[in-house]
Amino acid sequence: MMASPKKHVYQEGGWGWVVVFAACVAEFIVIGSLKAFGVLITAMKDDFDTGLWIIGSINSLHLGVQFILTPVASVVARKVGGRPVISFGGFLFGLGVVLSALTHHIAFLAVTIIAIAGSGAGCILEIVRAEFALYFHEKYDLAIFVSLLGAPIGFLLYGPATQVLLDTYGWRGAMVILGGFGIHLICAGMLVRRPTGIYKAIPIQDLTTEDQTTDQNEYQARRETEDQTWEQSEDQMSKHCEHQISKQGEDQISKQSQNQISEHSEDQLSKKSEDQTSEQSEDQLSKRSTQGPDPVKWRDSVVSALGLEIFINFDFVLLAAIRMFYSISFGGILVYMVPNGLSVGLTNGQASFLSTAFGLGSMAGPALAFFVLKRKLASCQVTAIIAAAVSAVGLALDPFIPSFAGQMVNTFFVAAGIAAVIQVVCVLTRYLPFTVDKFVIVLGWLGFLGGLATSVGDTLSGLLYDVTESFYGTFFLYSAAMVATGLLFLLDLCRARYREWSKESHAL
């Protein structure tokens, strides 16, 4: 009897808090760098003498690529562990940012920021979140809240600091310093360690030789059985001949010889049929070796390795759609927050402080959501609906607010709403009906879909700005995305209420 798999007992702390700190550092550097790129976008546009939407699209694609490549990093992390993947990603991220300062053509700038730095960032955020999820279950909402604090702290510090670096060293010198700081993500990766007994290695199946080996074993067993049968028949025949000769005498020798001749002829015929059968078996083996692996087993192996079976779960699909919509707004406001402030009449210094308001709001939103959920003042869906509504209104009003104080207050509420939605989505994702070893795959695919939406949405919003020469259409697009987010949460709330009503009906 096979032993039942041992159920994982969560430590709810211990070294897990060190991994949470590593996740906080990763959020601080990766998301903070996005804010820094937003501050540098105008200087980069002037240096390369190109359109603002082109530089903005590069920054947006940087954010999109780091999430699009997350499923690949998730598969690798599931095989080798999170530490090497995160550390390698940190090296690529810092290298890409440093190399971008050395470019003098817009295409090379896109390669360094999107392909190199973006690929590195894709190996970090979702992977480290999956790693500390192995330590927490009941306290996961607190752990994810602490880890997400790195992003608003990055907003608070990166915006003004980048403006100082820009005024002192220019955008190229600022990128070199930001890249050197980004290489410290390697240290964050070194802090990641898995608890004992988690993530056993996935067995590697040799699909190209499995069927061939089975057929060869069957063929060999059949040949051995035939040889044994033939030897037994020969022994029996010889014993029978000796007995007949001694009993019946010389008169029956001729008859026995004739019988032996006939039997020998039959044996030759049977051996010929056996040889033909063996030749047919060998031909089948050769044909199967040329045909390759079984396509059904190969398909099942690919589906299992990539975790594609999670797409048949409606809760996952709903959360994926929610993440795609809010990612459009989140990625866009990071890129175009400062340019929008400049377009309404703010100075460079005032516009750079919008990131400070965004950082404060990104801290206040998750804190308020955590308090509401912990005190059970409202459900996850209701909390997210209110947060999405607040951010949708703020995004629609943002291009119409000319004063510095108004921009600061509005940016605070927009950030608080989006960050609260992110907090709720992270909590709901943790309690999807999947096993622990699949959680990194779940985060990987959610990140991929969110990054895909960010890339498409921000490129479209940049084109809207280029056509209209204003941010009205761009920010209306972001507002519509948050409205769609709220509607999807409303759908999830109706499903939850219907399930409760069904249980009560069955109980009665």
Q: Which residues contact 347 (CB under 8 A, 6 or more apart)?
A: none
How many Å apart are CA 144 and CA 122, to the nearest integer?
18
Q: Which domains does the chain have, with CATH numbers?
A: 16-196+305-496 (1.20.1250.20)
Question: What is the average pLDDT value for the chain, to the nearest integer?
Answer: 79
Polymer length in residues for the chain: 508
pLDDT tens figures, 166-176? 999 999 999 99
How many Å apart are CA 67 and CA 452, to the nearest integer?
8
Name the CA dihedral angle for 442, 435, 296, 294, rounded to a multiple of 10 degrees: 110
Q: Which secondary-structure segment (H or E) carries 163?
A: helix 150-182
- Axis crossing angle, helix 314-343 with helix 52-68, rounded to the nearest 10: 160
Cα–Cα distance list, 454 to 147, 163, 207 (Å): 22, 25, 37
How many Å apart are CA 413 and CA 411, to the nearest integer?
6
How many Å apart are CA 140 and CA 145, to the nearest integer?
8
> Which comes out higher in pLDDT, residue 37 or 280?
37
pLDDT tens figures, 32-84? 888 788 788 888 988 888 887 788 778 878 877 887 788 888 888 878 888 89
- Tell me if the pTM is above 0.85: no
% the chain with pLDDT above 70:
75
pLDDT recorded at residue 174: 93
Confidence at 253, pLDDT banded by 50, 70, 90: very low
How many Å apart are CA 134 and CA 342, to the nearest integer?
44
Q: Which range is most confident: 134-143, 270-279, 323-332, 350-359?
A: 323-332
Lowest mean pLDDT among 288-297, 349-358, 493-502: 288-297
Decide if pLDDT at 259 tops 60.
no
Confidence at 270, pLDDT banded by 50, 70, 90: low
